[in-house]
Amino acid sequence: MFSRQGLLQTWNDVRGYFIFACILFFASMFVGGSSDAPVDWMNGQLREIQKLRESIEGTDNPERAMFFLILGKNLLASLMAMGFGIVGAIMPIAVLVSNGMLIGYFISLVAHSDKNVWGVVAKGLLPHGIIELCAIFLACAFGVRFGITFIRGIWRSLTGKSEPWQPFARTASGAIPGIAAIVILLTVAAIVESTITYWLASS
């Protein structure tokens, strides 16, 4: 499972889904930045993020509070996207689309303001975002594969195919080192966001 061969097999299994997750996310960013985006919903999400930021600012140690809040929320969202992907892959796709649209909308707001959009992205998104997105893409890749292999397993069982659940079982086995990688990536991302990104955004 954690052997080099096992990890390579796991990556080969989810690589196509990982690429799909990347494409869907960045396509959703373009939708979020377009004039046809659901503005009311996204404004509501941004207000909730602002409220969380204000609550963090009011603590004795904002960096520590930010670390635990960000890590907890991202871990919960990633593990739910992975686990609940078994239900037709709906959850991971929803996570990718909603987050992609929200980031695209945020960037479009910055672009239409007096702020330097590249400066805001470089300071507020890139330091932690690259690491965090890798974890989310990986979690959603497993979630989509869970959903597809589960549906295929049911179909193959009904049609009498041999070893109908083998791909699903392999996905479940590979998800264990996948979860370990996600936890490590999200922990590093939370450290970066609560320190480097926080300091850059405050400067």
pLDDT digits over 114-161, tens only? 778 888 888 888 889 999 999 999 999 999 999 999 999 999 898 888
Res 1: pLDDT? 59
Mean of all residue pLDDT scores within the chain? 89
pLDDT digits over 79-92, tens only? 999 999 999 899 99
CA distances from 31 to 24, 49, 100 (A): 10, 20, 8
pLDDT band, very low/low/confident/very high, at 203 (cuts 50, 70, 90): low
Q: What is the rounded distance in angstroms from the CA atom of residue 107 to the CA atom of residue 85?
A: 28
Question: What number of other Cβ atoms are within 10 A of residue 89's Cβ?
Answer: 23
Mean pLDDT of the region 4-10: 81
Mean pLDDT of the region 14-31: 96
Residue where the block lists tokens 């400067």: 203
- How many folded domains does the chain comprise? 1
Question: What number of other Cβ atoms are within 10 A of residue 40's Cβ?
Answer: 8
Q: Which one, of 70, 11, 90, lies nearest residue 197 by Cα?
A: 70
pLDDT band, very low/low/confident/very high, at 33 (cuts 50, 70, 90): confident
**202 pLDDT more than 80:** no
Domain that holds residue 157: 4-202
Q: Which one, of 81, 62, 60, lies nearest residue 70 by Cα?
A: 62
Higher pLDDT, 54 or 86: 86
Share of the chain above pLDDT 90, in %: 56
Q: Which one, of 125, 108, 120, lies nearest residue 42 by Cα?
A: 108
